[in-house]
């Protein structure tokens, strides 16, 4: 007599946990519009770093509204892939890191200090930015889909110190500052630093602490300002509180200031965020208030 054995609760729980810990590559590719044949090569990395930020916007609406940010894979897939929303660096690059790992890339998570648009004599920021270092056939590349208004939209040669690397938008270069790596972008007024990366790969616990600080500390810019960005091959579109800016890759810029209802509409129509109407309206109201508040020194 053959007996049919039912899976024990512990086995069923383990199977469910394993499924939740798997990245849904097909759904991710559909989300960003990737239709190629993915391989752990430079062509695939180029395609993903261009398509991802064009569809999955940089945003921290949850942080702005005082909500927690969950960096677990199930939460990232529910929000950025199935939920139609975006995220900030820990979410964006955390998702891309898992995608690349599933495709067979050798990928390391890095952590760094943001320098973007800060005075040269300003105190150094905590380690609050995540980026990726990807090794392909012995060559290391910087991949970053989570730096908001100034992502490269392409992988950059990590070890080509001082070499200018043109992209569809700005030209970038990586410099050495001791054992740290400094990323700079060439703007009309010269070279400007974006961030410095620690040489050692970061631990998941490093990101948990940095994410907790960035999403909860009252001095975090994401708690005080609404910041949204979307980079497509032909333009960068950014929203800072009520200021909507479009910078075209071919040159030229448009800027206008939005009313409260226009901000709520832009979050959905311009940036493609699938937000509940109440969340969009609440974020718009807070952004309008933040734009009207007196500016204080950092």
> What amino acid positions are annotated as catalytic residues?
89, 129, 144
Among the listed residues 148, 180, 192, 165, the one whose alpha carbon sits nearest the alpha carbon of residue 57: 148
Q: Which tokens is 74 given?
A: 């199930």
Residues 6+ apart with CB under 8 A from 71: 90, 91, 94, 207, 208, 211
> Which are the contacts of 49, defined by CB distance < 8 A and separation ≥ 6?
96, 143, 144, 145, 152, 153, 154, 155
- Give CA–CA dist 202/132, Å, rounded: 10
Structure tokens at 93: 């690059």
Classify residue 126 by its DSSP letter: P
Helix (H) or strand (E) holding 227, with range, is: strand 227-232
Cβ atoms of 177 and 193 within 8 Å: the answer is no
Per-residue b or e along 277-298, where b marks 16 or more CB atoms closer than 10 Å to that residue's CB: eebbbbbbebbbeebeeeeeee
Q: Which residue has the tokens 């204080």?
A: 296
How is residue 128 written in tokens? 């609050």
The span from the CA of 288 to the CA of 212, in Å, is: 25
Of 22, 62, 52, 24, residue with least CA distance to 211: 62
């Amino acid at each position: 007599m053959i007996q049919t054995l039912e899976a024990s609760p512990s086995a069923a729980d383990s199977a469910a946990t394993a499924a939740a810990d798997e990245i849904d590559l097909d759904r991710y590719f559909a989300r960003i519009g990737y239709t190629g044949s993915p391989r752990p090569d430079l062509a695939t990395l180029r395609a993903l770093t261009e398509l991802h930020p064009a569809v999955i916007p940089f945003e921290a609406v949850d942080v702005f509204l005082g909500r927690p940010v969950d960096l677990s894979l199930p939460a990232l897939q529910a929000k950025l892939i199935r939920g139609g929303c975006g995220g900030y660096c820990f979410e964006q690059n955390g998702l891309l890191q898992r995608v690349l790992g599933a495709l067979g890339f050798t990928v390391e998570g890095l952590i760094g200090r943001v320098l973007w648009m800060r005075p040269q004599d300003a105190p150094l920021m905590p380690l609050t930015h995540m980026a990726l270092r990807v090794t392909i056939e012995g060559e290391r590349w910087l991949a970053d889909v989570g730096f908001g208004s100034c992502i490269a939209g392409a992988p950059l040669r990590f070890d080509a110190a001082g070499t200018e690397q043109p992209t569809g938008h700005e030209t970038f270069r990586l410099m050495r500052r001791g054992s740290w790596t400094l990323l700079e972008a060439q703007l009309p007024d010269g070279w400007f630093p974006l961030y410095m990366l620690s040489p050692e790969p970061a631990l998941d616990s490093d990101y948990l602490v940095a994410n907790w600080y960035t999403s909860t500390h009252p001095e975090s810019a994401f708690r005080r300002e609404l910041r949204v960005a979307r980079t497509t091959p032909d333009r960068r579109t950014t929203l800072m509180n009520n200021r909507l800016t479009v910078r075209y890759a071919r040159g030229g810029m448009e800027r206008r200031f939005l009313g409260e209802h226009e901000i709520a509409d832009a979050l959905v129509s311009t940036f493609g965020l699938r937000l509940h109407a109440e969340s969009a309206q609440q974020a718009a109201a807070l952004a309008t208030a933040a734009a009207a508040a007196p500016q204080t020194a950092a």
